Amino acid sequence: MTAVVLLAHGSPDPRSSDATRALGAVLQGRSFETTVVVAFLQHNAPTLSDAVAGLARAGHSEAIVVPAFLSLAFHVREDVPAAVRAAEDATGVRLSIADPLGPDGSLLEALDRTLPPGPAVLATAGTTDPDALRALDRMASTWADQRGAPVIVAHASQSEPDVAHALRLLEESTGQEAAVGAFVLFPGVLPDRIAAAAGARVVSSPLYAEVETITLIESRVAAALRRAA
């Protein structure tokens, strides 16, 4: 079967790369009867080219690259395709790019499992990309309908409102304490910032270990295989 590469952004915080590798190990053990490797755009090794070179040495001639990102911003639109082209040129392995993991409504179920009912902040890592921001707003609207309570998107970096501001807006308008859904995959600096802004409020954990994430990756790989056939 075609190999799978889980491609994450990477982080100087070792918890992030450790969690990425843990997710790769879960995928290898539970989801796919093929080789699963991880790679990173920045900060951590291996790069995509190095990971694919390892697949080539192991006899793989093709692989599916799964972008482990939760928005449709610059990294997904520009950095991932550029890294894929470079890896193909360097190794000769045929690579297909699966859809990124987000924003996908199935992940809202994982947030709801740990959050109380009522208003919520959908806390993201942050982006300035207009299309990505619109997609996150649509997800927040979907989540508000599901919860039967207001939801506001907030960002740990780059965009407004930040999490603290969104919490103030939401709690002033509803008169209720809000929960925080951390819409991030892996632990690290930005999830810590989200948790700090939440204070004593309930905040969900990064999504990398959730069953919805595993299931979503499986579906992304299956769809990419159908397109490549």
pLDDT score of 167: 98
Cα gap 61→58, rounded to integer Å: 9
Domains identified in the chain and CATH numbers: 3-102+209-228 (3.40.50.1400), 105-207 (3.40.50.1400)
In this structure, the number of other CB atoms found within 10 A of the CB of residue 62 comes to 14
pLDDT of residue 104: 95
- Provide mean pLDDT across the span 144-152: 98
How many other β-carbons are positioned within 10 Å of the β-carbon of residue 220?
A: 20
Instruction: Give the model confidence (pLDDT) of 170-225 as tens digits.
Output: 999 999 999 999 999 999 999 999 999 999 999 999 999 999 999 999 999 999 99
What is the mean pLDDT of the segment spanning 142-154? 97
Confidence of residue 158 (pLDDT cuts 50, 70, 90): confident
Yes or no: say if 78 and 41 are a contact pair by the CB < 8 Å rule. Answer: no
Comparing CA positions, the residue from 72, 74, 138, 144 lying closest to residue 102 is 72
Tokens of 168: 């103030």
What pLDDT is recorded for position 34? 87
- Identify the pLDDT of residue 229: 74
- Comparing C-alpha atoms, which of 33, 7, 219 is closest to residue 95? 7
3-state class (DSSP) for residue 199? coil
Q: What is the mean pLDDT of the chain?
A: 95
Q: What is the CA radius of gyration of the chain?
A: 18
Write out pLDDT tens, residues 34-60.
899 999 999 999 999 999 999 999 999
Report, as an integer, the average pLDDT of 141-155. Answer: 97
Q: What is d(CA 39, CA 62) in angstroms, rounded to the nearest whole number?
A: 16
User: Taking the model in full, what pTM does it have?
Assistant: 0.95
Place of tokens 């509803």: 174
DSSP state of 28: I
Burial label for 16, CB within 10 Å (0-12, 13-18, 19+), is: buried
Q: What is the pLDDT of residues 206-218, one digit of tens each?
A: 999 999 999 999 9
pLDDT at 29 over 90: no
At 184 the pLDDT is 97
Spatial separation of the C-alpha atoms in residues 50 and 39, rounded to whole Å: 8
pLDDT at 142: 97
In the chain, alpha helices (H): 14-26, 48-57, 74, 80-91, 108-114, 130-147, 163-174, 189-198, 211-228
pLDDT the model gives residue 33: 80
Strand ranges across the sheet with 94-97:
36-40, 3-8, 62-67, 94-97
Q: Is the pLDDT of residue 118 over 90?
A: yes
Tokens representing 188 are: 């690290």
- Residue 182 to residue 125: CA distance in whole angstroms: 9
What is the predicted pLDDT for the residue at 181? 98
- The one-character DSSP state at 109 is H
pLDDT at 89 over 90: yes
